[in-house]
Chain A
Amino acid sequence: MNDDIAFWLSYLTNGKHLAWYASFQFTIFAALMGGGLAVVFGLTGATLKNSRFLPLRLIGTIYSSIVRGVPDVLFFLFFPLAFEQAVEWVVASQICTPESIAAQTSAWPPCKEANWFLGTTEYLLLASVSLGLVYGAFATNVIHGALRSVPTGQLEAARAFGMSPGQVLWRIQIRQMWVYALPGLSNVWMLVVKATSLLSLLQIADIVLWADRLGAPNFLPAVGLVHEDWRWRYYLVLFVFYILVTWLSERAFEAITRRVGKGILSEARV
């Protein structure tokens, strides 16, 4: 019995498992960064949608409907590739000489010097930005609605004080809209969290990739513990992990909503 416990303890703390535990950092980073960026893009999108200038309004509307009209995974794969190629194109236009372009044999980039190495860090940042862009489109709608929920009396009072439209937007409307946006933003956050499971598609050694490698059947003692296919157990751990994160997030959002909604939400609901 004791031997069993010691065996499992040492198995679950071997380097491979430690690497798995460490890879949770990628997931957490992508979720936080992606969630934060989603709010930034959402604010931008909502401001554009509220703009009095028609082209800006169109950009905001098109952004939020196109991105939501295609699967998140498609955009998630497309954006890092497109961004990499765009950067390489810009760099190439600055530094490629005719000789270096002539020397280039492969189709892309235009010259060798313009190549941009993407490692885990770059992919992680790009993945976070694409999560931000995708779910920013969802947040755009949430924030757009919340901006409209701010009582007009507040805005009229601000204008009466002589505030410029920009001041009204930044100092009054955006400050007050958070309370109304929170329930929706909580939903967007849950979507971002779940979408972090896709990181391995961008060659990031994330929790899903490690679960597959750890659970895959092994016959060779040189590779590690010999065991049959254990993958579903590892995936079950991830399944439970995500449910836990969802639960914790819900509790956190409830607490925040209660706190910031004091005196406001009860009035609004009358």
Chain B
Amino acid sequence: MQPLLNDLAMMSQAVLFNIYFAAASIPIGFVLAVFLALGKASPNPLINWLSRVYIYAFRGSPLFIQFFMFYSLALSLNLAVWKPLGISGFVLHPLFMGPLVLILNTAAYTGEIFYGALRAVPRGEVEAAKAYGMSRSQQFRHVIWPNLIRLAWPAYTNEVVFLFHATAIVYFALPVIGAQADLMVTAKTLFERDYNAFLHFSVAALYFLAVSLVVFFLFGLVYQRLMRHMPAPPRMRFKPKWIR
């Protein structure tokens, strides 16, 4: 019992790093994703092509490689760009690089979700909005966006949980500052001390599971609010999907 409690205590600090990585990347990734989805649906060939390529590239390659690539790329620009700007230590800090790559990655996945939802927005409603003489921005704000976010919310919840899981590899790919350690690094260090794989990895898994459940719960509340106009608001359950 004591070792279990020890692990729980040790990892309660570590989980904050994972939560930080996820929390820092979700809002910006969300905004970027909206632009990517609109870009992918845009009639402008250049914007359309760029958004498509971006989404395809980041969804089609492993996050692990993206971490390595962007860190070493940022490093090679250090003397020419970051140093003169005086932001060297900041840009290459894992607490900045980690969320940055996660943002680039999740924006692509979320962008694809939003694009799918955008295409599912009922045409009739958009046409009605046009017939009312709404401007394009009015159409987006009053008709397309509310539909889009409701359609996309369950899949987006899922993506947020995946993003949280993806924070597990940040410190496997980036240099570690001081004694900072996230859940995976802590579990691995503890394991290497006494070989109790079952204990340490299970506790880390427990933390991941617990935070995932909290995410599902909070996002479920938002979903209920989004769907409050429906006669029987659909409930979201803990059900990680197979798609990412």
A and B touch in the complex (CB under 8 A): yes
A138-B242, A201-B172, A208-B68 known; A77-B188 Cβ under 8 A: yes
> For residue A188, which residues in chain B have a CB less than 8 angstroms away from its CB?
242
B124 contacts the other chain (Cβ, under 8 Å)? no
CB atoms of B197 and A242 under 8 A apart: no
A68-B240, A107-B195 known; A235-B201 Cβ under 8 A: no
Number of A-B contacts (CB under 8 A): 120
> For residue B239, which residues in chain A have a CB less than 8 angstroms away from its CB?
65
Rounded to whole Å, the gap between the CB of B220 and the closest CB of chain A is 15
CB atoms of B238 and A65 under 8 A apart: yes
CB atoms of B64 and A197 under 8 A apart: yes
CB atoms of A243 and B184 under 8 A apart: no
B228 contacts the other chain (Cβ, under 8 Å)? no
Residue count of chain B within 8 Å CB distance of chain A: 42
Among B66, B184, B197, point to the contact of A85 (Cβ < 8 A): B197
> For residue B128, which residues in chain A have a CB less than 8 angstroms away from its CB?
none
The CA of A191 and the CA of B187, in the complex, are separated in Å by: 24
Nearest A residue to B191, CB-CB: A81
The CA of A238 and the CA of B64, in the complex, are separated in Å by: 11
Which residues of A does B touch, CB under 8 Å? Answer: 65-66, 68-75, 77-78, 81-82, 85, 107-108, 138-139, 141-142, 184, 187-188, 190-191, 194-198, 201, 208, 211-212, 215, 229, 231-232, 235-236, 238-239, 242-243, 246-247
The CA of A139 and the CA of B33, in the complex, are separated in Å by: 27
Among B66, B76, B187, point to the contact of A239 (Cβ < 8 A): B66
B180 contacts the other chain (Cβ, under 8 Å)? no
CB atoms of B61 and A70 under 8 A apart: no
B65 contacts the other chain (Cβ, under 8 Å)? yes
CB atoms of A72 and B165 under 8 A apart: yes
Among B57, B198, B205, B238, point to the contact of A74 (Cβ < 8 A): B205
> For residue A65, which residues in chain B have a CB less than 8 angstroms away from its CB?
238-240
CB atoms of A243 and B56 under 8 A apart: yes
B136 contacts the other chain (Cβ, under 8 Å)? no
Rounded to whole Å, the gap between the CB of B145 and the closest CB of chain A is 27
Rounded to whole Å, the gap between the CB of A72 and the closest CB of chain B is 7
9 pairs of A and B residues whose beta carbons are closest in the complex: A246-B60, A71-B165, A235-B69, A197-B62, A138-B242, A231-B72, A232-B72, A71-B168, A242-B61
CB atoms of B61 and A243 under 8 A apart: yes
> For residue A70, which residues in chain B have a CB less than 8 angstroms away from its CB?
165, 205, 208-209
B41 contacts the other chain (Cβ, under 8 Å)? no
B244 contacts the other chain (Cβ, under 8 Å)? yes
The CA of A188 and the CA of B242, in the complex, are separated in Å by: 7
A78-B197, A247-B60 known; A215-B72 Cβ under 8 A: yes
The CA of A236 and the CA of B184, in the complex, are separated in Å by: 26
B166 contacts the other chain (Cβ, under 8 Å)? yes
Encode B50-81 as 1/0 by CB contact (under 8 A) with A.
Answer: 00000011011111111011001101100000
> For residue A78, which residues in chain B have a CB less than 8 angstroms away from its CB?
197, 201, 205
The CA of A12 and the CA of B198, in the complex, are separated in Å by: 44
B14 contacts the other chain (Cβ, under 8 Å)? no
Q: List, sorted by A's number, 30 A–B pairs whose CB atoms are closer than 8 Å.
A: A70-B205, A70-B208, A71-B166, A71-B168, A74-B184, A74-B204, A81-B201, A82-B197, A85-B197, A139-B242, A141-B242, A142-B242, A184-B242, A184-B243, A188-B242, A198-B64, A201-B172, A208-B64, A208-B68, A231-B72, A232-B72, A232-B76, A235-B69, A238-B61, A238-B69, A239-B57, A239-B61, A239-B66, A243-B57, A243-B61
